Amino acid sequence: MKDRTNSEWLDDLRGPGRDDALADLRAFMVRGLGYSLANRSDVDGTLVEDMAQEALLKILDSLDTFRGESRFTTWAQKIAVHVTFSELRRRHWQDLSLEAITEPYGPDFAPDTMIDPAALPEQQAIQRLFLETLQRLIGTELTDKQRQALVAVRVQGMPLEEVARRMGTNRNAVYKLLHDARQRLKSRMEAEGLSPQDVLAAFGS
Amino acid sequence: MKWNRKALKKKGRKTMSPRTRAAESMDPDVLKKMAQGIMATRPDEIGCEECFKQVDHFVDMVLGGEDAAAALPLVQDHLSRCHDCREEYEALLAAVRATS
């Protein structure tokens, strides 16, 4: 691949050097994705080629947003990685609805299996108090959407992006939804006398 | 949580009651992460969009041997909280490291 500065990349992609620059960038992204996804069984060469192609279109559409704070190739690879992981997450979770994975966590949200059996008795007591308080506050303080997102992400490990897809919104909005939920739970807990320091200490951090 | 999703797929959602699945995923680690996530909430967290804008800069700093976490603490904080963004950050770091 021809060595280019950031401005040479931009000039080439916008000018007569475009075809060569596109081919170079595409090959660069395919190589990078190949390395970073090498140990995943759900990735093959075709997928990587397809994702690099999709990323290329996005990159050409958003050249004006490149801020020049990183190398151009790092910025481009970031878009390729994002496109690829979005697709992998979509495939992995496609058969599961939000209801199916969150509905089991109704009234019985807090089984004793969540208390660390290796913790000291006084730590276990705070863990249990935290769990009981959490269970109650999730029911009384959070909106249905906040509760669903919290359970899907924190308990079931569903990616934010997949929660967002099912809620008809985007990942950033789901992060904000969860942040507001955490903030609410934290301040209610503090108001009830559960200090962040004590809780964190009880969980060994 | 990968093990949990695998268990879910393997046993099949029709043969396993929702309650059994719920109980299976309720281990101490889930509660610990929730406690940490909630109690360490800060008002100035950045979202995924802002993290995405800065993460390429963050990666170049890391690979250049600079203290990215000190220079971009809110990006570092977001990466520690958001699994989606962390997963992409790690993949980007690996890709750029291998190709530069």
Model confidence band, residue A1 (pLDDT cutoffs 50, 70, 90):
confident
Q: Which domain holds residue B76?
A: 48-99
Answer yes or no: are the C-beta atoms of B74 and B46 closer than 8 Å.
Answer: yes
Scanning chain A, the segments in alpha helix (DSSP H) are 6-14, 18-36, 45-61, 72-93, 98-102, 121-141, 144-150, 160-167, 171-191, 196-202
Mean of per-residue pLDDT scores for chain A:
93
- All residues of chain B having their beta carbon less than 8 Å from the beta carbon of residue A153 are 83
Q: Residue A35: which of B1, B56, B99 has the nearest Cβ?
A: B99
* Pairwise CB contact (< 8 Å): B19 & A108: yes
* B35/B52 same-domain check: no
Residue B8 pLDDT exceeds 50 = no
* B52/B23 same-domain check: no
Compute the radius of gyration of chain A from its Cα atoms. 23
pLDDT in tens, B52-96: 999 999 999 999 999 999 999 999 999 999 999 999 999 999 999
Fold for the domain defined by A99-202: Arc Repressor Mutant, subunit A (1.10.10)
Same fold, A6-93 and A99-202: no
* B32/B58 same-domain check: no
More confident residue, B92 or A44: B92
CB contact A152 to B (< 8 Å): no
CB pairs under 8 A between A and B: 161
Model confidence band, residue A99 (pLDDT cutoffs 50, 70, 90):
confident
* B65/B29 same-domain check: no
CB contact B67 to A (< 8 Å): no
CA distance A110 to A125: 14
User: By C-alpha distance, which of A125, A177, A172, A118 is closest to A149?
Assistant: A177
* B91/B59 same-domain check: yes
pLDDT in tens, B23-57: 455 788 888 999 999 999 999 999 999 999 999 99
Can you give the pLDDT at residue B15? 40
Interface of A with B in 175-204 (CB under 8 A): 175-176, 179, 182-183, 185-186, 189, 196, 199-200, 202-204
* B71/B28 same-domain check: no
pLDDT in tens, A109-158: 556 778 888 899 999 999 999 999 998 999 999 999 999 999 899 888 99
| pTM for this predicted structure | 0.87
* B52/B92 same-domain check: yes
- Domain-wise residue ranges, chain A: 6-93, 99-202
- For the domain bounded by A6-93, which CATH number is listed? 1.10.1740.10
Answer yes or no: are the C-beta atoms of B61 and B71 closer than 8 Å.
Answer: yes
Can you give the pLDDT at residue B12? 38
Q: Which residue of B has its CA nearest to A172?
A: B48
* Pairwise CB contact (< 8 Å): B91 & A111: no
| CA distance to partner chain B, nearest, from residue A64 (Å) | 13
* Pairwise CB contact (< 8 Å): B40 & A115: no
* B58/B95 same-domain check: yes
CB contact A117 to B (< 8 Å): yes
What average pLDDT does range A30-43 have in this prediction? 93
- Distance of CA B43 to CAs A183, A191, B25, B33, B86, Å? 8, 17, 30, 19, 20
Model confidence band, residue A15 (pLDDT cutoffs 50, 70, 90):
very high
Residue A71 pLDDT exceeds 60 = yes
Domain count, chain B: 2
Can you give the pLDDT at residue B5? 43
